[in-house]
């Protein structure tokens, strides 16, 4: 019998990390910790179950045994062969490298079958005045950008955006980006580690070397025609009850993400069509399923198998709920029923195709 699954994080140490994930309750290893891979099937960091009967079992083994019972009958077969999502917590204690991710077609061809990477960020915390890079400034071309890289003036081509707690940032493949100093985020993304580093502020790693750049590939995938794209998603709110609500934030063909704000108890259902992942960013509570329950708190992530049926969530918390859309279903039908029209939906939710 499947049940809500927690996982042992895989921690990654990079030169820009820190100790800020401890504030989310993480028991970090020594040194700088840049990323906590919360739920991952990627070979670079596979997570194993940390609760219940399957404690210690790697996620790929659970998928191999249960297949669509875990993932959902409406998901394509390819998702049983390659889990579609990855969840991370990221501590940008200092600036990340300026980078870009490819789309699927380019990555599959040029990165040994790796998927591309579309991703979204939820700002868990940000120091006053914190900023991130999102896209190039208007008028930048591949030619002018290439010359700026040669002249070491590329920073003038980059658009900085101030961010604060609660902001939602959608980052499609092809959009150049980088977190600035003093930001902690939850990241929902495709199951991919395809990243092309464009600029790294001439930093030196612990061995005295500059980190490698991937400029040739990056120039082939950067979208220089996306400068009109909104940096932040305002989302659309739907009340669940008098004290709880959810906000539809990002939706694309790879994943949809809703932000839950819960005070009390709500009822949910996993009807067998798809799995769900919750990333808890504030507060604490519990998930009640059948005669069992699972306590949850900020800094934790939980995978809800597709076939567990009705379950409840209670407590006082905020959580990101992510899932792979079933394309034959209209996931925005609830928004229409609450009075939102097509213009509202397309102007407020990022990533729509």
243 is catalytic: no
* Alpha helices (H) along the chain: 59-66, 68-71, 78-81, 104-110, 142-151, 215-221, 333-337, 342-348
Token pair, residue 80, equals 């049983």
**Best CA proximity match to 350, nearest among 188, 160, 149, 155:** 188
CB 160 within 8 A of CB 132: yes
Per the document, the length of the chain is 353
From 197, 211, 237, 253, the catalytic residue: 197
Cα 116–122–125 angle (5° rounding)? 135
Separation CA 134–CA 176 (nearest Å)? 6
As annotated, the active-site residues are 197
């Amino acid at each position: 019998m499947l049940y809500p699954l927690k996982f042992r994080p895989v921690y990654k140490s990079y030169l820009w990390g820190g100790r800020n994930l401890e504030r989310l309750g993480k028991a970090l290893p020594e040194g700088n910790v840049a990323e906590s891979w919360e739920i991952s099937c990627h070979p670079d960091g596979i997570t194993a179950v940390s609760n219940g009967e399957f404690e210690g079992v790697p996620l790929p083994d659970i998928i191999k045994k249960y297949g669509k019972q875990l993932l959902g009958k409406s998901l394509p077969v390819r998702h049983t062969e390659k889990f579609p999502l990855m969840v991370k917590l990221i501590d940008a204690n200092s600036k990340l490298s300026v980078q870009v991710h490819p789309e699927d077609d380019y990555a599959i061809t040029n990165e040994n079958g790796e998927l591309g990477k579309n991703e979204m960020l939820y700002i868990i915390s940000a120091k006053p005045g914190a900023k991130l890079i999102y896209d190039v400034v208007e008028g930048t071309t591949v030619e002018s950008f290439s010359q700026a890289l040669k002249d070491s003036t590329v920073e003038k081509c980059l658009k900085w955006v101030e961010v604060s707690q609660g902001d939602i940032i959608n980052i499609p493949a092809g959009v150049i980006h980088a977190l600035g100093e003093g930001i902690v985020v939850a990241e929902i993304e495709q199951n991919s580690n395809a990243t092309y580093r464009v600029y790294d502020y001439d930093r030196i790693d612990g061995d005295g070397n500059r980190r490698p750049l991937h400029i040739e590939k990056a120039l082939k995938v950067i979208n220089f025609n996306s400068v009109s794209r909104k940096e932040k998603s305002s989302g659309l709110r739907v009340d669940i009850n008098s004290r709880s609500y959810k906000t539809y934030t990002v939706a694309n063909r790879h994943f949809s993400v809703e932000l839950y704000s819960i005070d009390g108890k709500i009822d949910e259902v996993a009807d067998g069509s798809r799995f769900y992942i919750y990333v808890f960013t504030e507060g604490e509570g519990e998930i009640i399923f059948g005669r069992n329950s699972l306590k949850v708190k900020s800094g934790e992530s939980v995978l809800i198998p597709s076939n567990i049926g009705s379950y409840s969530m209670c407590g006082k918390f905020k959580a990101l709920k992510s899932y792979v859309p079933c394309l034959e279903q209209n996931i925005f039908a609830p928004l229409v029923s609450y009075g939102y029209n097509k213009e509202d939906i397309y102007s407020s939710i990022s990533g729509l195709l």
